[in-house]
Copies of this chain bind each other. A is one copy, B any other.
Amino acid sequence: MADGSLTAGARVPSTRALASDLGISRTTVTAAFEQLAAEGFLLTSSGRAARVATPPVATPVVRPVPGRRGKAGRSMSLSASLSVSLSGYGRRVAATEMPAIPASPAAAIDFRYGAVASRDFPTLVWRRAYQAELLRRQPSLFYVAPEGEASLRRALQGYLRRARGLVCDAEQIVVVHGSQQGIDLCARLLLEPGDDFVFEDPGYLMARRGFEAVGARMAPVRVDAHGLDTASLPQDGRARLAFVTPSHQFPLGGVLPVARRMALLQWAQRNRAWVVEDDYDGEFRYGQRPIDALQSIDTDGRVIYIGTFSKALSPQLRLGYLVLPVELVPVFRHAKRLADRHAPVLDQRVLASLIDSGAYERHVRRVRRENERRRAELLAAVARNLPSDARVDGTAAGLHVVLWLPGLKAVDEEAFADAARQKGVGVYPLSPLFASRKGAKARAAGFILGYAGLTVAEIDEGVRVLGQAVREFA
């Protein structure tokens, strides 16, 4: 049939004849005929000879998908996909530059930001809770509500009040696949192509990419040691949304003072703009009680709070949550359902049980102490090994610091990071996080050093090697 030697309507040999011709069992031939009939190649009716189906639209030639091997690899140029027909969103996404994701750490001692130590993960507690939830009988397995399990949302409500000062109802919470999905949902639902969004300069690149992908335009606002400089907020009324990290500015590390928090909220109210508060590491504040979330002083329902389990548990879990102004709850639930129905149920129930039992907060305290030790070692090692003009910023909170090396300029960052990587140490240039390359010749070189994935000994050794690299770089 495929090569045209049997045409539409032609009778095919009987199963008996074919079995005898081919020397195989008639059962086999019958099964083959049934399969051909089921796939539409043959017309059969009982007692009559089978015929080739009509109309025989075309010759199905099964070939492998063209150009498979090697062409879809990681190095494939994105411009190739621009030639195929994509939506406006698709074309913007195809053209988006994104940092590479190395399959393994890029260096023996890698200060990559976002990594957490696997020995910090509460394996035994997690395993026990997971088993309990896995064995809990449900009548049947079905889709659940898009906003997430009620038990987790109730547990989060209490946790957020205790830990982050948030005042909210469990109904305002939507569980998402990590903070990136929270950002993406905000981008899709709140920004139109051509809208402006206020963005910290420097700021968190994956959020910027998410907003730009929907066609919105960045309105960068400078950041100083106290976070976003609210005096520089645009007053042209074009911004529909501001993305901020008030608890610990990413990357520079400032904590937004209350006066600026109020100024930001008033700006949002005047401009009818949304404020997206990414509280990516708010639990990790050292020396003092964590500062309450910006959401806690929002009286106008303008703040969308994004929380995550990536830092306290694991970025590989892909679980986070939004706390929404009540007016936005229904549309975010619908959008979450259209995006992927809901977050995985088992992981949600495990988290709920860990929060309810107090195990989660004990764990966070333990990890905070671990990271306090790492941070102390990092600061001590910098003082011991780096030039006296080296400065470390953003140490009050979080899981990373910014290391400034005034002996180098920002334009040297890539070359220095390469030199350090040659010696087995990964550090990450600050410049790609700025809105533009302007000023990079005058600015001191800055690097992000995440420490949550390393041991104290690795931190010590890593900074020692960095000191060497600085002396040799000149």
Contact = CB atoms under 8 A, between A and B. Distances in A.
Interface string A21-41: 000000000010011001111
Contacts of A127: 131, 134
A291 interface: yes
A461 interface: no
A270 interface: no
B141 A87 contact: no
Given A93-B189, A138-B118, A341-B180, A38 B98 contact: no
Interface in A91-134: 93-94, 96, 98, 101, 103-105, 110, 112, 114-118, 121, 123, 126-127, 130-131, 134
A438 interface: no
Contact of A72 (B58, B86, B326): B326
B38 A330 contact: no
A171 interface: yes
- Most chain B CB atoms below 10 A, which of A31, A41, A139: A139
B329 A72 contact: yes
A318 B115 CA distance: 24
**Majority SS of interface residues in chain A?**
loop
B177 A177 contact: yes
Contacts of A66: 299, 301, 326
B101 A145 contact: yes
Nearest to A121: B141
A464 interface: no
A65 B172 contact: yes
A116 to B, nearest CB: 5
Contacts of A123: 134-135
Interface residues of A, number: 148
Given A81-B327, A84-B328, A140-B115, A340 B180 contact: yes
B90 A190 contact: yes
A8 to B, nearest CB: 9
Contacts of A88: 192
A315 B62 contact: no
- Most chain B CB atoms below 10 A, which of A93, A118, A346: A93
A461 to B, nearest CB: 15
A58 B138 contact: no
Contact of A39 (B131, B257, B344): B257
Contacts of A258: 39-41, 53, 60
Contacts of A260: 40, 57
A235 interface: no
A238 interface: no
Interface string A56-69: 11101111111111
Contacts of A139: 104-105, 118, 453
Interface in A287-346: 287-289, 291-292, 296-299, 301, 314-319, 325-331, 334-335, 337-346
Contacts of A126: 134
Interface stretch (A209-217, A373-381, A439-447): A209-217
29 contacts: A34-B287, A38-B255, A57-B260, A57-B262, A58-B262, A58-B263, A61-B299, A62-B296, A63-B299, A65-B325, A68-B169, A72-B171, A72-B330, A76-B329, A78-B330, A83-B327, A85-B190, A85-B274, A87-B190, A98-B337, A103-B145, A103-B150, A117-B140, A121-B141, A141-B314, A144-B316, A180-B340, A213-B335, A316-B345
Given A62-B167, A98-B337, 7 more contacts: A38-B396, A40-B258, A85-B190, A85-B272, A114-B143, A127-B134, A141-B316
